[in-house]
Every structure is written in structure tokens, then in C-alpha cells.
Amino acid sequence: MGRIDKGEKCSVSGCSGEAARSISVDKVKAAGLNVGSAEKRAYICKEHYKDYKKKSKKDKTLDKWRYG
């Protein structure tokens, strides 16, 4: 049983929603989300995950072109 199943809260500052995903803190900060965490993983809710996907889409596309 992982931390999300146990009821982990969203790591984004000002959000108290239930976490839906666990992503590397470096990737979340690179996408522009304000994470106030000193851990390796950031736990984000569904709403912030949508924002993360939108903001990191360009980087993923460039990586796909570079290595694909």
C-alpha cells in the first residue's frame, strides 16, 4: 500500500486536495508548479496533474524528437 492510497495530500502550495500522482520534484518544479517539499517525490492532485501535463508537453515533444 503506497502513500497515495494512505491519503497523502497534494504537495503544491495552497492545495489540500487528495494526491492522485507521484512525480519527481525536479520535473514538477521545471513545469512551473510551486512545490514546497524537500522530498524526492511530489504528490499532486488531479487538477494540478492536468496543469503539469499541459506545461510539460513541449519538453516531452522535444525529448521525443531528440531521442526518437
Ordered by start, the domain boundaries in the chain are 1-68
> Which tens digits make up the pLDDT trace of 1-48?
789 999 999 999 999 999 999 999 999 999 999 997 678 999 999 999
- pTM here is 0.84
Percentages helix, strand, coil for the chain (3-state, rounded to 5) are 40, 20, 40
Q: How far is CA 13 from CA 32, 34, 48, 58, 67, in A?
A: 12, 6, 11, 24, 34
In the chain, the largest separation of any two C-alpha atoms, in whole Å, equals 38
